[in-house]
Amino acid sequence: MIDKNNKIPAYIQLKTDLMGRIRKGKAGVKLPSINELMREFGVSLATVNRALNTLEQDGLIDRRKGKGIFAANIDRETIHEAADHRGKQTVLFARPAPYPNSYIAEMVHERVEAAVLVEGMHVVTIMLKKETTYEFFFETVKRYPDAAAVFLLPARPLTGSDVKRFASLGFPFIIFEDTGFVTGGSVCAVSPDYFACGKMMAEYLIRHGHRRIGYIGNEPKTPAVIKRIDGIRKACAVAGIPAADLLMTDRRIAHWESSLAAGYTLTGELMTPRHPTGLIYDSTAGALGGIRCLAERGLRVPGDVSVIGESDCPFFEYANPPITALAHDYDAMIAHAFSVMRGTADFHAYTISTHIIERSSVASAVSLSRE
């Protein structure tokens, strides 16, 4: 249904939903009819037609008389550019191509598309594949010298040379990640404060009485991960928890590997006889995998082990048990990126707010018979 309390017009909400379906589906797949869309979203014929007309102008759908509405045959794996964008400013948005656990990229993508539509602009989406180099990406971006801005959700860590090269383009370049490098000039990093995130998760477990905490590094090593670990260590040190009681996994996964599977595997490696009573995961997808591993070992969550992860997504509410997670304000991240693009905010690194969504995977620590 359409959120009538949302300031975003109903036709844009509908268009954004349909773009998500088209992006995730196959070219040529039949979409719901006009009457079906009216019933599903509770909107008028005029609203549905306006959404479909803009999708058709953008080359995303084919409307075939007497047959229905179909997803257009476009290349969604590399570059998607609307068919008709005359007179509109262009925003380039680059993100990882779909891969296991790419829910964060999908959430950010949907918000960028909705914001661009509200601004009356045109978005070009560049899918960064496993084999895509930043050199290739840079050359692709150069094809759009009049772009209003580039938004980048990195597919792999950036180097200082990458950041300098992006700055040479001359238009706003906003990176949705902590690069580990000083930004400025025409490059801006917008991200969560990962040190604060790690510290917040550890403090949350400590407030629940946990003194033996484990960290599952189920994401590739990046500047953000290093800061998260530093935050966890800081919280434990302040609480007087001995370094020996902070257990950490030694292995790391490579980029594009499954963080869900890594959460399952690495949890098993950390579950020694003197195992932690509270586990912190790089991402909540890893926590989901970890909960399965714990169940297979006869350990209850949260009865025996409490679990918390970073980056929430609605489906974590339906895990068993529902997972306590850190949620980032992605709407604020997109809003700040547009402020930088418009020149109403400077290019200094900017951190977005984060809060804990309390569910059922964390409970007060108990003495385990296995100790």
**How do residues 71-82 score in pLDDT, each as one tens digit?**
865 443 455 555
Q: Is residue 368 very low, low, confident or very high in pLDDT (cuts 50, 70, 90)?
A: very low
**Measured between alpha carbons, how far is 210 from 224 in angstroms, rounded to an integer?**
24
Query: 79-192+330-353: same fold as 10-71?
Result: no
Of the listed ranges 53-62, 147-156, 160-169, 245-254, the least confidently predicted one is: 53-62
Task: Enter the CATH code of domain 194-328.
Answer: 3.40.50.2300
Residue of higher predicted confidence among 287 and 182:
287
| Residue 198 clears pLDDT 80, i.e. is over it | yes
More confident residue, 155 or 194: 194
CATH of domain 10-71: 1.10.10.10
* pTM attached to this predicted model: 0.78
Domain ranges of the chain: 10-71, 79-192+330-353, 194-328
Ranges 6-20, 29-43, 272-286, 313-327: which has the least confidence:
6-20
Look up residue 314 and give its DSSP letter: G
Tell me what the mean pLDDT of segment 209-219 comes to. 96
Q: Are 133 and 165 in contact (CB under 8 A)?
A: no
CA distances from 160 to 179, 180, 191, 227 (A): 9, 9, 17, 18
The reply to whether CATH 3.40.50.2300 applies to domain 79-192+330-353 is yes
* 108-130: pLDDT as tens digits: 998 998 999 888 898 888 888 87
